[in-house]
Structure formats: structure tokens, C-alpha cells
């Protein structure tokens, strides 16, 4: 069942099943956002579809697109992958000049249909639709304030908090309402906002989550979480939206305003380079692919291994494995083949299939591993549920030794800014030291990249508190107070 509605019709629906049996140990990002505005209005929903398709890696639970023709707004959103949610039939009614889109992995609120974005409401100022990447650490207080003011909440996502606060804000224009409301929001947010005749994008003053803007080839402009989506749409003049900046897209017009002063110490998420972003994206003036190769080079300098072959855990670790091999002079080869279509499934596996675990997602190439001392390069180790089975898979394929190298430091603390890593006590590195983890996963050796090595690769400088990146998941030193941050499902008690 989908949610397809125009303004004035409640966009609510049934809850959805969660994926079973095929999840991996990687951290999950919350989502990707997209916004675009064209002067001609031809194929705006189709453009949004292809932009979202390029952001699919940022969230696979649900997707949605809202459009406006200058007066009336419509939305279609549904659980599932972008290519399954949108068809020619579902895109056909989404006509207009302006659009925003969202592809979701939940970090605040469950993956129930009521939380699927974009949110769309009718206000005294016309239609308003909002989509969001990030996480508010003060969502509890803001939500309680809305309830005390008599608002009825229909969802358990902090995106609804953004939407209702903007709908009730004073001001003559949406820009004024955003500017008045922004100071109350504490945490990570890259927002795209659809009004009747424009799209507005805004980024938090810490710059946690990425957001970029570009000019469409046939007129108009687009914003997106990653530059790869803008490149897919043929955008030129691509530039990063600055922390604290508001960008207004109105057909051929582009207006940029610094509405909040950037924080003195910006806090870009270093994990975007380690894992989340697509390798063909650029952020902070840096190629993600090149940075990942540098992560592998730094890892090889710090923790080389006496081995015969380097293999990556595909796909995000491939550039790092290339860098590691280049630095050590050891050969790079494929040792694990990934089933890229397993993803999230709504089919309950049999017990026999479930017990095969990681073998559902990876197959080993025994001809490349048999009799070899193997270095396995992976981007991260979170809960430790995948590393052990992967080591066993490589050994069972005939490897005589298995050495594991991780391209970031041990993850010891939860993220409160839009990344689902679980709680501190879920994280293996918060409970065990490196030698205990090595023993647990069954590797012959295990090494993590140091914080200094990671920051040398990401920012060409050693780590420090002023390096412009958030490393709280490695250090526990958060760039702003997170005492009020809530667990992912903390708002589910009433709307269960």
C-alpha cells in the first residue's frame, strides 16, 4: 500500500514489515534528500526519481517525492526501494515546477509508514512539505512543546517536529519563518522544504550532514545530499551549501543567504568518507574515492602485514584495499563476491538459510584464496556480527592466514546526529579491546587505523579538536551536548 495524496488529505497509512535475516554489521545512515526547481516544469518528478535513485545507498527503507505546481502540492511515498516505489503510473500525477525527494533509513522513529518522508501539510500560508537528513538531539523537548501547545502529532519522527514548527512560525515569507525557527533546532539537519512556488534548502551550523547545490542543464537548480545525484542530473556549477546557509530555488533564480553563523568548530561527519558517501561524490572539496584510497595507504603505513594478497570487503572497502596494496606492494585481488541484490528483504528466511548468515551476502573465490596469507580490508567494525563469519568464510576457502585491517578507529560511542550505530553497549569496541576482538572474530591479526591516520587521509592533517570533523563515535567527545538525545524508538510508546 502506498501513500499518494494531494494537500488537504491526511498522508497516513499502515505500518510496514521490517527486513529479516539479511541485515549486515555496517552503520546505517538516515537518508538522502533532494530538491529541484525548474522554470519549465517538464518532467520534474522524473528528474527527482533519477536523483533519488543516485541516493539509494543512503537509505533503503522507504522513498517519497512531493511536487508543487505553484498552487497545489502532491506527494507519493511508500516503503521500499526507489525503483519499486515509483513507476510511470505513480509519477504521472506528480506534475509541477518544484519537487523534493527523500530516501530513508530511520534513526528517529520506526520504519512505520507514518514516518515516511516527505511530510506534507496544509498551512495558512499554503502547502508545506519537508524532508530531512540528520537527527535533532533536542527533539524530545520540541515535541513536548508542540503537544503542550495543542498540536496533534501523527508520527514519531523528528521531521514532523520541523514541519509543524515551521507551519506555526510567524513571518511574512517562508524564509522569515525558517530564520525565526532555526535557532531552536539543535543537532544535525540538512533540510529540503517545498512551498507552493519554491524549494528551500537549509543546513545546520555545524555542517554534520552533506548538502550541495548545482545548476540544471536546461534551466533551474537542484540540491542534494551528495554531488553524485547532481552529476546524474547533469548539474554544473556544483557547490557545497555552507553550514548555517539557506538556499532558495525558484525556477531560474537562486538565492543564497547565511541565516545562522557557522559554528567556530564545524563538525562534518568523518564517516561519510569512511563508508556512507558514494565513491564518485565530492565533499569538502575532496573526492570520496581518493580519500578512501588514502585511508588504505595510511592503514598500510601503520599496520602492514606479512601476507600474499590483499582483498576488500566489497563494495565500500575497494578503494582502501587498492591504496593498501599500492603502499605495501602486495597484489590486490577479489576474494569476496557480493550479492548486491540481497539488501533488505521482506521474506522470512528458513532456519537453514538463516544459519548460512553472511554466506547469503558473500561468496568466496577459493581459487584466489587457497594457500594464501590474506589481508581483508574492511571499512568498519560495529557490533561484530559480520567480521567473524567473514573470517571463517575466507578460511574455509583455503586461506592459511587471515589478517583483518579496518580503515577507521574502533567505534566506541553511539552517534546522535543521524547514523544508526546502536547504543554504546551494542558496540563491540566499547566492550572489548583490540586483542579480545581479534580472538572473538578468529583473525590471525587485527588492526584499526588510528584517529591521526584517518584525519591525515581525510583532511591532510593530524587529528585535533579543531579539524572540522565530528569523530564522536570514536572519541565520545560530541561537538554539542547530547544529554537530551533519545533512543531511536523512544517516541513509539503512544503511537505504537
Q: Known catalytic residues? A: 31
Give me the half-sphere count of Cα atoms (radius 13 Å) on the Cβ side of residue 282: 11
How are beta strands 309-312 and 373-378 bridged, if at all? parallel
Are 407 and 379 in contact, with CB atoms under 8 Å apart?
Answer: yes
The Cα 220–Cα 69 span in angstroms is 14
Give me the residue label for grid cell 592466514. Answer: 401
SS3 293: helix
H or E element in which residue 65 lies: strand 62-68
- CB atoms near residue 144 (< 10 Å): 10
Biggest CA pair distance of the chain:
72
Retrieve residue 421's grid coordinates.
Answer: 550505530
How is residue 183 annotated by DSSP?
G
The Cα 113–Cα 110 span in angstroms is 9
The Cα 193–Cα 209 span in angstroms is 16
Q: Which residues contact 188 (CB under 8 A, 6 or more apart)?
A: 133, 134, 135, 136, 204, 206, 208, 209, 269, 417, 418
Retrieve residue 448's grid coordinates.
Answer: 584499526
Inter-CA distances, 12 with 125, 132, 137, 341, Å: 22, 18, 25, 29
SS3 481: coil
How is residue 17 annotated by DSSP?
P
Q: Which residues contact 453 (CB under 8 A, 6 or more apart)?
A: 295, 298, 299, 301, 302
Put the strands of the sheet holding 212-215 in their side by side order. Answer: 3-6, 73-79, 62-68, 98-104, 31-37, 221-224, 212-215, 236-240
The Cα 168–Cα 183 span in angstroms is 15
Amino acid at each position: 500500500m502506498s501513500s499518494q495524496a494531494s494537500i488537504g488529505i491526511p498522508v497516513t497509512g499502515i505500518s510496514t514489515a521490517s527486513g529479516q535475516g539479511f541485515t549486515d554489521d555496517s552503520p546505517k545512515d538516515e537518508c538522502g534528500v533532494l530538491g529541484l526547481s525548474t522554470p519549465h516544469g517538464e518532467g520534474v518528478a522524473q528528474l527527482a526519481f533519477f536523483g533519488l535513485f543516485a541516493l539509494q545507498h543512503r537509505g533503503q527503507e522507504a522513498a517519497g517525492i512531493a511536487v508543487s505546481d505553484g498552487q497545489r502540492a502532491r506527494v507519493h511515498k511508500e516503503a521500499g526501494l526507489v525503483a519499486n516505489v515509483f513507476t510511470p503510473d505513480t509519477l504521472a500525477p506528480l506534475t509541477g515546477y518544484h519537487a523534493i525527494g527523500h530516501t530513508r533509513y530511520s534513526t528517529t522513529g520506526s520504519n512505520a509508514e507514518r514516518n515516511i518522508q516527505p511530510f506534507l501539510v496544509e498551512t495558512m500560508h499554503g502547502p508545506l512539505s519537508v524532508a530531512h537528513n540528520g537527527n535533532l538531539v533536542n527533539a524530545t523537548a520540541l515535541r513536548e512543546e508542540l503537544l503542550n501547545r495543542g498540536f496533534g502529532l501523527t508520527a514519531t519522527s523528528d521531521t514532523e517536529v520541523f514541519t509543524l514548527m515551521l507551519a506555526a512560525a510567524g513571518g511574512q515569507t517562508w524564509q522569515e519563518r525558517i530564520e525565526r525557527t532555526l535557532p531552536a533546532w539543535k543537532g544535525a539537519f540538512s533540510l529540503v522544504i517545498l512551498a507552493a512556488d519554491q524549494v528551500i534548502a537549509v543546513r545546520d551550523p555545524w555542517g554534520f550532514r552533506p548538502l550541495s547545490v548545482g545548476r540544471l542543464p536546461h534551466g533551474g537548480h537542484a540540491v542534494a545530499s551528495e554531488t553524485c545525484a547532481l552529476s546524474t542530473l547533469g548539474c554544473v556549477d556544483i557547490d557545497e551549501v555552507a553550514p548555517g546557509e539557506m538556499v532558495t530555488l525558484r525556477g531560474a533564480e537562486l538565492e543564497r543567504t547565511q541565516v545562522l553563523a557557522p559554528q567556530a568548530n564545524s563538525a562534518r561527519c568523518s564517516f561519510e568518507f569512511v563508508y556512507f558517501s558514494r565513491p564518485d561524490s565530492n565533499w569538502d572539496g575532496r573526492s570520496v574515492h581518493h580519500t578512501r584510497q588514502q585511508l588504505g595507504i595510511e592503514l598500510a603505513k601503520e599496520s602492514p602485514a606479512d601476507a600474499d594478497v590483499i582483498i576488500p570487503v566489497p563494495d565500500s572497502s575497494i578503494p582502501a584495499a587498492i591504496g593498501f596494496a599500492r603502499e605495501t606492494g602486495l597484489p590486490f585481488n577479489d576474494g569476496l563476491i557480493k550479492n548486491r541484490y540481497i539488501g533488505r528483504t521482506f521474506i522470512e528466511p528458513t532456519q537453514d538459510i538463516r544459519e548460512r548468515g553472511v554466506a547469503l551476502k558473500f561468496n568466496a573465490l577459493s581459487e584466489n584464496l587457497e594457500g594464501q596469507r590474506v589481508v581483508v580490508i574492511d571499512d568498519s567494525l560495529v557490533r561484530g556480527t559480520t567480521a567473524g563469519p567473514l573470517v571463517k568464510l575466507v578460511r574455509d576457502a583455503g586461506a592459511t592466514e587471515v589478517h583483518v585491517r579496518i580503515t577507521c578507529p574502533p567505534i566506541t560511542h553511539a552517534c546522535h546526529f543521524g547514523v544508526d550505530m546502536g547504543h554504546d553497549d551494542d558496540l563491540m569496541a566499547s566492550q572489548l579491546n583490540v586483542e579480545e576482538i581479534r580472538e572473538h572474530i578468529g583473525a590471525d591479526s587485527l588492526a584499526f587505523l588510528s584517529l591521526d591516520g584517518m584525519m591525515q587521509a581525510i583532511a591532510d592533517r593530524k587529528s585535533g579538536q579543531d579539524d572540522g570533523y565530528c569523530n564522536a563515535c570514536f572519541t565520545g567527545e560530541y561537538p554539542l551536548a547530547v544529554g537530551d538525545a533519545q533512543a531511536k524508538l523512544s517516541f513509539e510508546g503512544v503511537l505504537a
